[in-house]
Amino acid sequence: MPKIKYFIQQSWLLIVSSFCFGLLIAASNAALSPRIELNLANKLNKLTIVLLPAAKQFMPLDADIEVEVRGGKKEKIKLYKALSETEQCVGWSFKAAGEGFSGKLELVVAVDKNFEKIAGFDVLTSSETPGFGDQIKMSYFRSQFAGAPVEELTVVKTGQPTNIDSEIVAITGATVSSEAVVNILNSFLSSIKKQMKEKGLLGDGTK
Amino acid sequence: MAQSNELQTGLYKRALLAGLWEQNPTFRLLIGMCPPLAVTTAVKPALTMGLSVIFVLVCSNFVTSLMRNLLKPHLRIIMFTLNIATFVTICDLYLRAYLPRMSEILGAYVPLIIVNCIIIFRCEACASKCGLMVSILDAIGMGLGFTIALCILASIRELLATGCIFDLRVMPRGFVPWLAMQMPVGAFVTLGLLLGLASVLTRKKRS
């Protein structure tokens, strides 16, 4: 008993203030989290609408789709169905992440409704080297992906970037960043496509 | 009576002004050096970081000063950390809700304010020993000193790396951007030169 008394005598301030600070954080979180979620959704929508101009709204898909990330771990991802004004499926979009040259690289990827052609990608977060790796954000590099087939993409060092095929011409001086983008796309696209086929979500695209 | 009033005003003035030059955390004391190196690629994120630090410093000094007579010596550090972590979390949530772009650029550096030693140093050296008014003025002074240091570093780096300040073009059209200034090397070189300058200025003042 005296031990408990001693414990409380020593730490009552810590216990009381932990409780108060906890309440303060909970209240701020409750007040701000709707806005934070809205910001995230808006950003994703803004980027995806540029990639899929026919889309008017995006509906998250309920099906569980998992992608193998670094280290063999599986991660659940959220797939969005892009709907046109008449509620027809015009494509799919999702967030893909992987390792870049100097840190995490997060992309938003859009594909057509049959998962046959990539509609494009954009960079959500990256810490690639300014002037070199961060050119993955530039349209001259990104436009190589718009219309490219959903199959194993390869990086080549020389070639014509205007040719739309599965060969992606690397950015000069930033081969690692270019490869990082292609690797992310390859791993996400193939495994998502496979799982969507298994679940019967592809085909007419209306299911 | 008049003399004690004068004494108090002098104390307040010293508390407010110390952080600006004499005990400037970045240029004179060299503490909390992570943000000056990491978030000074442009003025906007540097300013946001500075204002966040001012908010956390003022709040944590205020709370620490209020509970200074209740603090047990062996539990004081954990109390400071708890206190600082709470305000940093609130600040992080606020940035994510209302300044999502800045929050994205600053990334992990906002939560890392928790381990910024300027704040715990001021809690220990000032707020846990002084009254409310002195603690708050000290926090404002130190925070402003830190913010000004960040902004000076950031404006030099942004100007040389992009030719702009606050996204406004300053350099003439023919200016070739020094991309290295945006990389860590730019931060180290600029900081080193500014520290040298600060040291020369102090020596001149003394002699």
Query: What confidence tens digit (pLDDT) does each residue in B14-35 have?
Result: 888 888 888 888 888 899 898 9
Facing B97 at nearest CB: one of A14, A35, A43: A35
> What percent of chain B stands above pLDDT 70?
99
Question: How far is residue A167 CA from its own chain's centroid?
Answer: 22
Residues of B in contact with A39 (CB under 8 A): 96-97, 100
**Token couple for B51:** 């204002």
Domain boundaries, chain B: 34-206
Q: Is residue B191 over pLDDT 90?
A: yes
A48 to chain B, minimum CA–CA distance in Å? 17
Band (A207; pLDDT cuts 50, 70, 90): very low
Q: Does A27 touch chain B (CB under 8 A)?
A: no
Measured from the Cβ of residue A11, the count of other Cβ atoms closer than 10 Å reads 14
Facing B86 at nearest CB: one of A24, A36, A40: A24
A17 to chain B, minimum CA–CA distance in Å? 8
Average pLDDT over residues B39-61: 94
Interior/surface letters B28-57, b for 16+ CB within 10 angstroms, e for the rest: bbebbbebbebbbbbbbbbbbbbbbbbbbb
Q: Is residue A204 over pLDDT 60?
A: no
Question: Which comes out higher in pLDDT, residue B68 or A204?
Answer: B68
Instruction: In chain A, count H helices and then E strands.
Output: 3, 9
Average pLDDT over residues A85-106: 86
Q: Is residue B166 over pLDDT 80?
A: yes
> What percent of chain B stands above pLDDT 90?
54
Band (B65; pLDDT cuts 50, 70, 90): very high
B155 to chain A, minimum CA–CA distance in Å? 17
Q: Is residue B45 over pLDDT 70?
A: yes
**Token couple for A48:** 């995806």
Testing the interface with A: which of B81, B82, B88 to mutate, by most A Cβ within 10 A? B82
Instruction: Compare all CA atoms of chain A with the CA of B60 and give the residue at the minimum distance.
Output: A21
Q: Which of A119-123, B4-8, B71-75, B88-92 has the lowest mean pLDDT?
A: B4-8
Q: How do the residues of chain B divide into helix, strand and coil, expressed in percent and rounded to 5? A: 75, 0, 25
Q: Nearest CA to B72 among A5, A21, A24, A8?
A: A8
Residues of B in contact with A29 (CB under 8 A): 93
Q: Is residue A122 over pLDDT 80?
A: yes
Strands B164-165 and B168-169: antiparallel
- Residue-level pLDDT at A205: 43
Facing A25 at nearest CB: one of B41, B79, B86: B86
> What percent of chain A stands above pLDDT 70?
97
Task: For residue B149, give Cα distances in angstroms to B41, B43, B45.
Answer: 13, 11, 13
Q: Nearest CA to B114 among B82, B147, B156?
A: B82
Q: Is residue A55 over pLDDT 90?
A: no
**Token couple for A169:** 């011409």
Question: How far is residue B65 CA from its own chain's centroid?
Answer: 20
Facing A14 at nearest CB: one of B79, B97, B104: B79
pTM: 0.79
HSE-CB at B9 with a 13 A cutoff on CA atoms is: 6
What span, in angstroms and rounded, lies between the C-alpha atoms of B139 and A164?
Answer: 58
Contact between chains at A32 and B93 (C-beta distance less than 8 A):
yes
Average pLDDT over residues B86-113: 92
Average pLDDT over residues A83-96: 86
Residues of B in contact with A173 (CB under 8 A): none
- Residue-level pLDDT at B1: 62
Which positions 60-99 of B are in contact with A (Cβ < 8 Å)? 67, 70-72, 75, 78-79, 82-83, 85-86, 89-90, 93-94, 96-98
Contact between chains at A36 and B97 (C-beta distance less than 8 A):
yes
SS3 of residue A58 by DSSP? strand
Asked if residues B24 and B171 have their Cβ atoms less than 8 Å apart, the reply is no
Average pLDDT over residues A104-127: 87
Residues of A in contact with B59 (CB under 8 A): none
State the SS3 of A69-98. CHHHCEEEECEEEEECCCCCEEEEEEEEEE
Asked if residues B30 and B24 have their Cβ atoms less than 8 Å apart, the reply is no
